[in-house]
């Protein structure tokens, strides 16, 4: 799961495939692409991820050791929660404005947003 954090208003917004979402102050925005993995973010947005396995309901009923075994090694660099958007992050595309983009992002010949 990818979320965006806005440093201007400190709002956190979960990305969606269905619509471009913005923070409360409107300075940050983003949306998942049709593949449900890559995303475009804009404005001041910082993206962070929480591995989906970390959110499994059944995790709450596991013992400490079982939970550690389940969660180890998932996510970016083996972490369950991480900041994204670094230079080597091939899942995030950045655009300047935070407003809903009037454009489509293309990867090769494939429309992804």
Cα dihedral 96, 99, 103, 109 in deg (nearest 10): 60
Identify the weakest region by mean pLDDT among 7-16, 22-31, 39-48, 86-95: 86-95
- Band (pLDDT 50/70/90 cuts) for residue 112 is very low
| Predicted pLDDT at 113 | 47
DSSP string of 11-22, one letter each residue? -EEE--SSS-EE
Work out the average pLDDT over 46-55. Answer: 78
Beta-sheet strands, E only, within the chain: 2-5, 12-14, 21-22, 28-32, 39-43, 46-50, 81-83, 92-95, 106-107, 110-111
Residue-averaged pLDDT of the chain: 77
Of 100, 80, 95, the C-alpha closest to 45 is 95
Separation between Cα atoms, residue 99 and residue 71, nearest integer Å: 36
**pLDDT tens-digit map of 87-111:** 677 888 888 877 766 545 444 434 4
Which tokens is 56 given? 């499994």
**pLDDT tens-digit map of 53-72:** 666 656 667 777 776 666 55
Is the pTM value of this prediction over 0.75?
no
**pLDDT tens-digit map of 4-22:** 999 999 999 999 999 999 9
| Predicted pLDDT at 12 | 96
Taking the domains of the chain in order of start, what are their residue ranges?
2-111
């Amino acid at each position: 799961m990818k979320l965006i954090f806005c440093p201007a208003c400190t709002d956190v917004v979960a990305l969606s495939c269905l619509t471009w979402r913005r923070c409360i102050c409107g300075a940050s925005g983003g949306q998942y692409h049709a593949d449900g993995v890559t995303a475009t973010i804009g404005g001041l947005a910082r993206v962070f991820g929480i591995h989906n396995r970390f959110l499994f309901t059944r995790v709450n009923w596991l013992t400490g050791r079982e939970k550690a075994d389940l969660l180890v090694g998932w996510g970016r660099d083996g972490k369950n929660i991480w900041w994204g958007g670094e230079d080597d992050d091939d899942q995030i595309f950045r655009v300047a404005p935070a407003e809903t983009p009037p454009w489509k992002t293309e990867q090769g010949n494939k429309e992804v947003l």
